[in-house]
Amino acid sequence: MIGSSFFFVIDGLTEDEITLFQRLNTPQKIQDFVDTIPINFEPEGDTCLSPRLVLGQNRAHCIEGAILAALILRFHGHKPLLVDLETTEDDFDHVIAVFRQHGHWGAISKTNHAVLRYREPVYKTIRELVMSFFHEYFQNENGAKTLRRFSKPINLKIFDHKRWMTAETEIWYIAEYLAGAPHSSLLSGKQIKTLRPATDVERRLGSIVEWEK
């Protein structure tokens, strides 16, 4: 388990990758490392970079950072789990890598904003964890709260036959699977109608970015 001397054997990792992953032996260290990777603004179009491409190109957006985090968690004995957070059609979905520690759920999150970030492992259920993102998940232009649905944890082990962990090419099949996976609703129609928009001070906070475009 994470923080121990046990390592999951992953065929095809380079010596540099193994050395890096050995050092990142807690969720906190993994999150700190993911935060150092510049945001992927996709200047040449949409991408879904593999962990190896993320490390080689030194850039990542949310799903790319989450997949890399899931790989490092797996290296330390955890299941490589992703959860998809689905929004209204006029906003962007978000993907997190989730893990269990001390019998509770936490999350590693790659984002360019001051919100939607790391979650401590203090949540009893995945739904409870997802709901911790709800009030922060709004559009800066109008304050509308947009988080609506979430997937169950998707174990990336199902893609092992595609060698996602050491792929030298993009791995769009993971993004496509997440988008098509069943999602559970967070709110009723009545709840949606009475949502209060984020305030001006919240929206100012939401406009802070870590990496300038």
Quick: pLDDT tens for 6-23. Answer: 688 899 999 999 999 999
User: Residue 94 forms beta bridges with which residues?
Assistant: 85
Q: What is the pLDDT of residue 5?
A: 53
The runs of H, that is alpha helices, within 108-199 are: 126-131, 172-180, 189-193
Q: What is the pLDDT of residues 21-69, one digit of tens each?
A: 999 999 999 999 999 999 999 999 999 999 999 999 999 999 999 999 9
Instruction: Give one word for 173, left, alpha or beta, with left for phi > 0 and alpha for psi -120 to 50.
Output: alpha
**Global pTM exceeds 0.75:** yes
Pairing of strands 81-87, 94-101: antiparallel
Cα-based distances in Å from 149 to 27, 59, 130, 169: 25, 27, 9, 30
User: Residue 188 forms beta bridges with which residues?
Assistant: none
Place of tokens 């802070």: 208
What average pLDDT score do residues 183-208 get? 96
For residue 3, pLDDT beyond 70: no
Q: What is the pLDDT of residues 104-160, one digit of tens each?
A: 999 999 999 999 999 999 999 999 999 999 999 999 999 999 999 999 999 999 999
Q: What is the pLDDT of residue 8?
A: 87
Find the range with the poorest average confidence among 68-72, 102-106, 202-206: 202-206
Kindly list the domain boundaries of the chain, sorted by start residue.
15-206
Judge contact between 143 and 202, C-beta under 8 A: yes
Q: What is the pLDDT of residue 7?
A: 82
Q: What is the pLDDT of residue 6?
A: 64
φ/ψ of 121, rounded to 5, equals -75, 75
CA dihedral sign, ordered 180, 183, 185, 186: negative
